[in-house]
Structure formats: C-alpha cells, structure tokens
Amino acid sequence: MQETVTNEKEVKWWQTAVVYQIYPRSFQDSDGDGIGDLRGIINRIDYLKKLGITAIWLSPVYKSPNDDNGYDISDYEDIMDEFGTMADMEELLDKANEAGIKIVMDLVVNHTSDEHKWFIEAKKSRDNEYRDYYIWRDPVNGGVPNGLGSIFSGPAWEWDEASGQYFLHLFSRRQPDLNWENPKVRQEVYDMMNFWLDKGVGGFRMDVIDLVGKIPDQEITGNGPKLHEYLQEMNRKTFGSHDVLTVGETWGATPEIAKLYSDPARNELSMVFQFEHVMLDQQEGKDKWDLKPLNIAELKSVLAKWQTSLGNQGWNSLFWNNHDLPRIVSRWGNDKEFHDQSAKMFAVLLHMMKGTPYIYQGEEIGMTNCPVSSIDEVEDIEAVNMYHDRLAKGYAVEDIMTSINAKGRDNARTPMQWDDSNNGGFTTGKPWLHVNANYTSINVKQNLDNPDSIFYTYQRLIKLRQENPIVVWGDFELIEHTAEEVFAYYRIYEGEKWLVAANMTAKENVFAADDRVMEIIMSNYNRTEIDVANLTMKPYEAFAVKVQG
C-alpha cells in the first residue's frame, strides 16, 4: 500500500485497515465454561490473519458483573474472571501485534457498573469524596427529578433510599452515569486510557461517547454543549501523541456533526460510527422496535450522502453489523434461498465504498439471526426490559416477539460457529446463549473448505482494498438512473474508474450504464463476462468492474 496520497497528506494506518469486531463472550471458549475467553481469541489469531484483517475491535473484557455483558465495568484495569487474566490480555496483545493486528479496546466511560468502587463509595453518603463522580438529584414533588428515560426502558432515575436522592442511569439501573462535568472523573478516565496505551493497544472504540456532554437538568443527553471540548481534552491528555484508531459510537450524528468529531484539524477522533442507514427500518420518531420495511431508495441516498459529504474533514466507518444490531443477511437480505448471494452482495456493496470497513464476527461466514419463540430464551437486558415494559403498556406478546426476532441484540450474539461438532465448536460445555441450529451447515470449516464461500469473498475484498488505492481513496459517485432496487456507484481515482452494482432484492432487475468494461474485479455469480450496457441482474447479484475512465 502506498505511503502517501497525491496531496502528500500523511496516510494513517486506520485509513487502509479492515477491522474485525470480536464479542469475546461468544467468540471461542477455551476452558469449557460455556463463555468465550481471551485464550480462545489467541487460539484463533491464525484464522483472523488468514481473513486478512489488520485490527480487532474487542468488545469489553474488563471486570464486570455482566448486567449488560461487560458494558457495565467494575474495574477498568482488570480482566473479567470468565475471560482470563491480565497476563492473557498481554499475551493477546503480543500475539496479535506479531500477526500485524492491532487491538482496539472498547472504552465505556459514559457509565460504570454499580459495583465499581467509585459508585460503592459514592453511595455511602452525600459527602463522600466520590459522590460527585455520579449524577445525583433530589426528588421533585416526591418523584423523579424529570422525565428523562432510560434507553433500556423505564425512567433514567433510580431512587437511592439510604441517601434520599436519585441517581441517573441512561442504560440499566446497574449502569450509573459518570459525571463528566467533574474534572476528577475526566482525569481518572484519561489515566486509565494511558494505562492501556502503555500496554500497546491500537486505539479505542468509544461507547455512546455522544452522551458524555449531557445536561440532565435540561434533559439534554446527546451532543451536549461541552462534548467536543471534552474530546479535545481527552485527545490532548491521552492518545493524541499515539498513532491509534479512535472511533466514537454516535447514534445522533449527521454528517455535519460527524465532521466535528473527525475533522483532523480539530484533534478529536479518527472517525465515528453513524447509524442513519441501519435505522431506516424503524418508524420515524419511534424506537428501534417499531418496525417498517426498508426503502432501498432511502438507503441509497443515505449512504451516498455519507460517502460524499465528509470530504477531507472526516473519514467514514463502514458497517452493517455489530453486537447491537441484527444480522444484515437476515434483516435486509435473504437468509434462506439466497443466503449465499445476499451475504456476498452486502459484502461487496460495503467493502467497495470509501472508509474503514468493520466486520462483525460471523458475518464473514454468513451467520444469520436466530429466532426465539419465548422471552425465556432471551438473555439481553435491553430486550427483556422492553418486553416487560410493552407488556405492561398493553402490547400483544406476539407483536413484541416479532420486534425481538427482527431487531433483538441476541440475534448477533449467538456463539461463533466454527464447525459442525457439538455447539458449533464454540465450547465443550453448555454455551451461555443458545447456538444457532444452522451451525451444521453454516460454519467456519465449511467456509474454509469451499473456495467459493462467503469467507473467501471477504478475504478477497480485504485484499482488493490493500492492493488498490482506488478502493481506499477513490471518489464516490452514485449512479442515479438505475432500477430503484439496484444500488450502483463509481469509484474514481487518478484516471481509473470502477463500477460497483448490487441488486438488493430477490427479483431480477435490468441494469444499463454507458460504460465499457475492461476487467471484472468481483462477481458473486462468478460471471466471466459482464456487459453493463444491458444486463439482467440476478437475485442479490453484485459485481465490481473496472471500466474505461
């Protein structure tokens, strides 16, 4: 890969990287307790190397009582017992670095666990030195201070009988929010980040970072007035002097807001995760559980907008999946008769765009959503709380379960399917969450044995990015005049032009562009000839071709 771009700007490693997200609890168990662990990850580094990724985003591995599977941290400088020890973590860092893979840690600092020593202290009395690390308010008219709601259902205020005040929790009541207005809190966070930077981590994925500037009394949660001031301070005091990847989880970002985070001149973050595209299947003004069908025209315009609007004041992250989202192949693709084609189609469409792609574990082998028939099979606190909340509000159980099966987070959290042995080779014990029954046909082994598998599509896409500057740097141009269900675009770079097209449905669609194909780069139907002037695209067909510039 070239070291400089034409304008001689310094190239950052994360601009040419492909990141793989590991949800450790479900990746690989090595000791038979049914829970994935660090040793399991170490044992699979060769697999990740074979895929070709160069960075891992590691979901939280810190000490935690697991009210929200590690996103409730009780000690930021220690490892969760089920996952292993700090020595294992150091070994993972060493082995990954040796394999050319950086480890990006999950930084969860909007809140801690209620078992964190700061919160245990803070609860002791109103004048405890840690009291002000959290957000406490007196009752108003004998009830909650205001109408702020928790993202995990119910009010965001929890009553603390002993001290006679409420504390704020935007997530579960066991995840009290930190008070970022307190400079001591910020310094604690920076010290902890430096602890991890000293261990050689490759960066941070910042959990719900857009919430840390909240002003609870005005019911402002996202994008508070001091948010960017805090991030600039964080950059200065921690990673600013390191060559690392930082990516903020920002549900409320528009392109204008994204530039505030990722304009290099502002010294904040490398990039953000924006979620506009994955929220297109929810009803306007409602929450994620209120479903509506995807409108492909909207998807095209949202993604094209993000591709073209950041310019050199930002950098995109590219993703369909993560541990909070349903599997795209099931949600917007077709995980039955067109499983293989639709999984590959989503891969080609995304990986040929401009930005840093993220692959969520199992995506590269076509893992699917895993429907459940009753709430008893659900582990995730978000879905369980929503179930009870909606039940109390009079929703029908059937409708609630429809939402959970479409959007519930457990869908993407079922254990990694390594082979067709018991439990998909994830564990020799009882898995903490059911393994998807389709592990006998969808698994790593079967993918590796088949040269035409989804895995090899991902491997090839990663290689294309590593070997072709156009994939990293090329301008993006949406092709407007196509069938509504065909998503097509050009990438253009230094006289070279690639055309990428994807039919996003199970119906055939005609494609017609005024270009002459010079070379087929990729075709999920293994076509050896493509005439883009007149082509009937097959169900979920996708291709990338080099055309005359």
Please list the active-site residues: 207, 249
Is 171 among the residues that bind ligand NOJ (CB under 6 A)? yes
**Residue 114 touches ligand NOJ, criterion: CB under 6 A:** no
Window 261-320: residues binding ligand NOJ (CB under 6 A)? none
- Dihedral sign, Cα of residue 289, residue 380, residue 222, residue 196: negative
Q: Is 418 in the site for ligand NOJ (CB under 6 A)?
A: no
Closest to ligand NOJ by CB, 68 vs 114, is 68
Smallest gap from Cβ 434 to ligand NOJ, in A, equals 19
Q: Which amino acid is at 331?
A: R
Instruction: Single out the residue of 104, 107, 178, 208 in contact with ligand NOJ (rule: CB under 6 A).
Output: 208
Asked if 324 is part of the footprint of ligand NOJ (rule: CB under 6 A), the reply reads yes
* Distance between CA atoms of residues 352 and 431, nearest Å: 36
Euclidean distance between CA atoms 509 and 30, whole angstroms: 47
Sequence-distant (6+) residues with CB within 8 A of 283 are: 290, 291, 292
Instruction: Write each residue from 25 to 54 as x if it is in contact with ligand NOJ (CB under 6 A), else as -, in one continuous string.
Output: ------------------------------
Measured from the CB atom, the residue of 155 and 474 that comes closer to ligand NOJ is 155
**Phi, psi angle pair for 139, to nearest 5°:** -65, 155
Number of residues that bind ligand NOJ (CB under 6 A): 9
- Of 247, 260, 302, 454, nearest to 367 by C-alpha is 454
Contacts of 87 (CB under 8 A, 6+ apart): none
Which stretches of 191-235 are assigned E, i.e. beta strand? Answer: 203-206
Neighbours of 25 (CB within 10 A): 26
Nearer to ligand NOJ among residue 27 and residue 540 (C-beta)? 27
Residue 111 CB, nearest distance to ligand NOJ (Å)? 7
CB of 205 to ligand NOJ, least distance (A): 9
Residue 460 Cβ, how far from ligand NOJ at the closest point, in Å? Answer: 29
Instruction: Rank residues 171 and 338 by Cβ distance to ligand NOJ and give the closer one.
Output: 171
Taken as a whole, the chain contains a residue count of 549
| Least CB distance to ligand NOJ at residue 382 (A) | 7
Dihedral of the CA atoms 514, 518, 521, 524 (nearest 10)?
50
Question: Residue 347 carries which DSSP code?
Answer: H
108 binds ligand NOJ (CB under 6 A): yes
CA 44 – CA 507 distance, rounded (Å): 38
Question: Between residues 171 and 498, which has the closer beta carbon with respect to ligand NOJ?
Answer: 171
CA distances from 122 to 63, 128, 181, 183, 529 (A): 19, 6, 16, 16, 68
Q: Cβ closer to ligand NOJ: 72 or 515? A: 72
164's CB contacts (< 8 A; 6+ apart) are: 138, 139
Q: What is the closest distance, in whole angstroms, from the C-beta atom of residue 289 to ligand NOJ in the complex?
A: 15
Question: Does 211 interact with ligand NOJ (rule: CB under 6 A)?
Answer: no
- The contact mask relative to ligand NOJ for 486-525 (x = CB under 6 A, - = no) is ----------------------------------------
Select 17 or 208, whichever has its Cβ closest to ligand NOJ.
208
Task: Tell me: does residue 207 bind ligand NOJ (CB under 6 A).
Answer: yes
In whole angstroms, the minimum distance from the beta carbon of 70 to ligand NOJ comes to 9
Whole-number minimum distance, CB 355 to ligand NOJ, in Å? 19
Cα–Cα distance measured from residue 96 to residue 48, given in angstroms and rounded to the nearest whole number: 10
Query: Do strands 486-493 and 496-503 pair parallel, antiparallel, or not at all (unpaired)?
Result: antiparallel
Structure tokens at 54: 């160069």
Residue 207 beta carbon to ligand NOJ: minimum distance, rounded to whole angstroms: 5
Closest CA to 547 of 506, 488, 503, 482: 488
Coil, strand, or helix at residue 166? strand
Cβ-proximal residue to ligand NOJ, closest one: 71
Pick from 516, 517, 509: nearest CA to 541: 509
Identify each DSSP E strand in 196-254 by its residue range.
203-206, 245-249
Chosen residue from 62, 71, 426, 458 binding ligand NOJ by CB under 6 A: 71
349 binds ligand NOJ, rule: CB under 6 A = no
CB 249, min distance to ligand NOJ, A: 6
Judged by beta carbon, residue 62 or residue 171, the one nearer ligand NOJ is: 171
Report the residue number, 47 or 251, with the smaller CB distance to ligand NOJ.
251
Alpha-carbon distance of 236 to 225, in angstroms, equals: 19
Q: Is 201 in the site for ligand NOJ (CB under 6 A)?
A: no
CA 123 from chain centre, in angstroms, equals 33
| Residue 207 or 541 with smaller CB distance to ligand NOJ | 207
Query: Hey, which residues between 246 and 265 contact ligand NOJ (CB under 6 A)?
Result: 249
Q: How far apart are the first and last CA of the chain?
A: 22
Identify the burial level of 61 via C-beta atoms within 10 angstroms of its C-beta, where 0-12 means exposed, 13-18 middle and 19 or more buried: buried
- The binder of ligand NOJ chosen from 29, 67, 68, 158 (CB under 6 A): 68
Measure the CA–CA gap between 345 and 157, rounded to whole angstroms: 44
From the CB of residue 313, how many other CB atoms can be counted at a distance below 10 Å?
A: 16
Q: Can you give the binding site for ligand NOJ, defined by CB under 6 A? A: 68, 71, 108, 171, 207-208, 249, 323-324
